[in-house]
């Protein structure tokens, strides 16, 4: 991918996102819509994956048919909310290897606190897609990608549902080589570091916590 930021303005994505933003949406509805959107965003972020051909026999004749090249991609969920995107993407790419980066954002300092890290081997040979619904200050995604690079990843893309301009700028500064795919670029962050208009705390809305 060449653009640093891609906003997927597909009507189905935008319609589903509007329903997710609504304050009254239940956790089950929120999770279902996130799963559905994740597959549409994954479709976009996996464009331009490397391809090769495989010799096969159709019922009529042999052909050199397109297949994905190289090692299986690595899908990395930034816990917890990343899991809401990961499940749907795994349905689309069932052979993906899966990793987890456990981070939460300290509510006062807005700095990420790490509590878990487990990723597939040979990250340096894989396309790595890191997923987290929210890109707010960018502190969490920058930290997660720092860790992935330290573990060897060198071909990383970041998939999120909502991004704030502040977070996009922070990612561009820290990781200009990591393209971002999102469903929407919102207006700004509020004084608490929440994306506005946004949808609130994605993890809490998915899991029914406060």
Ligand X SMILES: O=P(O)(O)OC[C@H]1O[C@H](OP(=O)(O)OP(=O)(O)O)[C@H](O)[C@@H]1O
Ligand Y SMILES: O=c1cc[nH]c(=O)[nH]1
Q: For residues 86 and 39, give the distance between their C-alpha atoms in angstroms, rounded to a whole number.
A: 9
CB 130 within 8 A of CB 144: yes
| Given 18, 109, 121, 188, the catalytic residue | 109
Q: Which does 38 bind (CB under 5 to 8 A by kind): ligand Y, ligand X, Mg ion, none?
A: none
For ligand Y, the binding residue among 42, 73, 76, 136 (CB under 6 A) is: 136
95 is written with which tokens? 């052979």
Q: Report, in Å, the least distance between residue 83 CB and ligand Y.
A: 13
Q: Report, in Å, the least distance between residue 152 CB and ligand X.
A: 22
Q: Report, in Å, the least distance between residue 30 CB and ligand Y.
A: 12
Burial of 183 (0-12, 13-18, 19+ CB in 10 A): buried
Q: For residues 15 and 11, give the distance between their C-alpha atoms in angstroms, rounded to a whole number.
A: 6
Residues 134-173 that bind ligand X (CB under 6 A): 134-141, 167
Q: Among this protein's residues, is 201 annotated catalytic?
A: yes
If one asks whether residue 132 binds ligand X (CB under 6 A), the answer comes out as yes
| Given 87, 125, 146, 201, the catalytic residue | 201
- CB closest to Mg ion, residue no: 203
Q: For residues 61 and 47, give the distance between their C-alpha atoms in angstroms, rounded to a whole number.
A: 29
The neighbour count for residue 7, using CB atoms within 10 Å, is 16
Question: DSSP assignment, residue 155?
Answer: S
If one asks whether residue 195 binds ligand Y (CB under 6 A), the answer comes out as yes
| Given 21, 105, 170, 205, the catalytic residue | 105
Q: For residues 165 and 185, give the distance between their C-alpha atoms in angstroms, rounded to a whole number.
A: 7
Which of these segments, 44-52, 82-90, 175-183, 198-206, binds ligand Y (CB under 6 A)?
198-206
Hey, which residues are catalytic here?
A: 105, 109, 201, 204
């Amino acid at each position: 991918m060449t653009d640093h930021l891609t906003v997927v303005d597909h009507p189905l994505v935008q319609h589903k996102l509007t329903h997710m933003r609504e304050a009254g949406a239940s956790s089950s509805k929120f999770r279902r819509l996130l799963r559905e959107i994740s597959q549409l965003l994954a479709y976009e972020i996996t464009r331009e994956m490397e391809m090769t051909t495989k010799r096969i026999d159709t019922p009529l004749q042999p052909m050199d048919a397109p297949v994905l090249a190289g090692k299986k991609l690595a899908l990395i969920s930034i816990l917890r909310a990343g899991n809401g995107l990961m499940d749907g993407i795994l349905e689309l790419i069932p052979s993906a290897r899966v990793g987890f980066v456990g981070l939460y954002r300290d509510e006062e300092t807005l700095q990420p606190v790490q509590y878990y890290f487990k990723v597939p081997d040979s990250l340096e040979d894989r396309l790595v897609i890191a997923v987290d619904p929210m890109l707010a200050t960018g502190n969490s995604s920058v930290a997660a990608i720092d860790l992935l690079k330290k573990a060897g990843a060198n071909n990383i893309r970041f998939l999120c549902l909502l991004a704030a301009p502040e977070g996009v700028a922070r990612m561009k500064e820290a990781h200009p080589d990591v393209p971002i795919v999102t469903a929407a670029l919102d207006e700004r962050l509020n004084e608490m570091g929440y994306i506005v208009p946004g949808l609130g705390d994605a993890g809490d809305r998915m899991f029914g916590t406060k």
